[in-house]
Structure 1
């Protein structure tokens, strides 16, 4: 069962490409800010990144690490590993920076969190699933705890 926890709005800069390799194009997408709302409230700190491989089959392997600063001053590390895949024409539209209805592609991520805050150890001990949507300058994630 999945329990809704919070929503993330992760602002991103333009992707930086290391070029195409046999396994696909390697990119780094800088994380520049954002917000978290729900059971956690605060902001996404700049300085994180999503390290991606755009595979020849059209799938994007996603590996993001960044920090949250909650309203009470607590900081939380986020590690999000997932994938994005859809029809070739949809993936091409996303690559051009167009807004695409999220029902036209599949974007899911397994999420883990780390913090020393005693009252957030429930989050440290919970595997979460993010259901994502890629916008031109941000990623939206609805985060659910796996019971």
Structure 2
């Protein structure tokens, strides 16, 4: 039976300006604090809590490694831990534009054809109405930022 994807929700993640660590042995490293946001979709709605962050690096070959960890409070009060890791393609210069004050001006965003960032979100949640998150595999499509300090990730359950 072939695999398929079912859209479950979108993460609207609000960010603080990145902290740039410079060139390290893992690539050009930055930390982007997560300061809030919303989760909206047919299977989950809630608030993204402040206090998490994305530790990403751009390797010399232009591969971006993203690793975001943060918490969601569902509208029913349930707490959900998310570990969202993945890969994209961009140069360090592209990343400075994307996470700068005018991401819509980035040449890689004009038609969206060059943007590629996919993630593999994993969830930790107590037994209850959202335990399905801990029992399935998911794929995330991190969309090109269209405004400063904000990213969207469309999340799909692998069926």
TM-score using structure 2 length: 0.84
* 8 A contact 2:120–2:139 mirrored in 1: yes
* 8 A contact 2:99–2:149 mirrored in 1: no
TM-score using structure 1 length: 0.90
Distance 1:89 1:50, change over 3 A: closer
Match of 2:142 in 1: 132
Q: Secondary structure at the match of 2:56?
A: strand
Q: Secondary structure at the match of 2:98?
A: helix
The structural deviation recorded for 1:57 is: 1.5
Listed as ranges, the gaps of 5+ residues in structure 1 are: none
Aligned residues: 147
Q: How does 1:93-132 map to 2 (within 5 A)?
A: 93-97=97-101, 98-99=103-104, 100-101=109-110, 102-132=112-142
Alpha-carbon deviations, 1:18-51, whole Å to 9, x = none?
A: 2212331121100000000111111100000001
**Once superposed, what is the RMSD of the aligned Cα atoms?**
1.9
Point out 4+ residue stretches in structure 1 off by more than 6 angstroms: none
- Distance in 2, matches of 1:72 and 1:96, equals 35
The structural deviation recorded for 1:116 is: 0.4
Match of 1:51 in 2: 55
Listed as ranges, the gaps of 5+ residues in structure 2 are: none
